[in-house]
Amino acid sequence: MELAYIPSPSRGVLYLGPIPLRGYAFSILVGLFVALWIVDRRWVARGGKKGTAWDIAVWAVPFGLLGGRLYHVITDYELYFGEGRNWVNAFKIWEGGLGIWGAVALGALGAWIGCRRRGIALPPYADAVAPGLAIAQAFGRWGNWFNQELYGRETDLPWALHITSSADGRVPGYYHPTFLYESLWCVGVALLVFWADRRFKMGHGRAFALYVAAYCAGRFWIEYMRVDEAHHILGLRLNNWTALIVFIAAVIYMVLSARLRPGREETVEPDASDGGTQDAEEGAEAEGRVALDKDAPETASEETSTSGQDAVADEAPVMSGDKQQKPRS
């Protein structure tokens, strides 16, 4: 008897008139906007200018989407270039298929370009991005629910995911909702980074490294549960190896960075601090000019009064002298 389960949507696309609204794309877009809102607030709190995060995102987001798609196509090339496959489908990003590893890698390149154009160092910006990126992934994983993909092994747990589609080799049944596991894990990662960054004042890219390490730890066991086709190396899925290697690299970076560059950056966006100092100096100069203008009339009247007194004093002895002199005969 079926007591409880997570139902799958009957379809992954809704039509607003002639415009298709795909659940996968909608999940990613919502995640991006929420993440950028978080990043902007964190950047301003660190001393940056409001709006800078959105300007850099103009570079980071397209690069990230391109990198995510490239990683997926390269690691699952047989889905697009195998026998009976249409290579044009490799460009249909709205149908699903983004690899987080490629998205972060090329997204970081795009962010570096955006930071460089504004004279900003990448590490402090990456620290601001870290929890927002985890939240974006938490939203994005629901795109797999809309597409009925990337689920785990069969289970009879009350929160099992009910797969109803039989397309592309799917077998209808009840499976572990790995999309939900990863979504909740990403929320936990974001909360961890928020707490650790506030508690330890993490800087120089260490908050981002913490996000990477924590995400990889969860991705390793979640990936191990999945049953979709994947390349295996020494008995482990390719993404398991990627998560393990990236986890080790992130931990090493955190340790070395803490030793070589402890503390947090005092200035993250030079223009912001210089602009504030310049405004303060201009304000002080303006106040000084107002004060001088107020004192000027009083000073002028005092000088006029003094000059008048001096003139009277100069004439007084002459007049008294004339009165004392006797007329000559």
The answer to whether 62 and 32 are in contact (CB under 8 A) is no
CA distance 317 to 325: 13
The whole-number pLDDT of residue 272 equals: 66
Phi, psi (rounded to 5 degrees) for 56: -70, -30
Q: How far is CA 21 from CA 94, 135, 148, 249, in A?
A: 10, 22, 16, 39
DSSP 3-state assignment of 8? coil
19-22/13-16 β-pairing: antiparallel
**Tokens matching residue 211:** 């996000």
pTM for this entry: 0.80
Helix (H) or strand (E) holding 270: helix 270-324
Averaged pLDDT score across all residues of the chain: 84
The C-alpha torsion from 285 through 289 and 292 to 294, rounded to 10°, is: -130
Q: What number of helices (H) and strands (E) belong to the chain?
A: 10, 7
Per-run averaged pLDDT (10 residues), the chain, 329 residues: 76 79 90 97 95 96 94 87 83 82 95 95 97 97 92 94 88 95 98 97 97 97 90 91 97 97 92 49 47 48 47 43 40
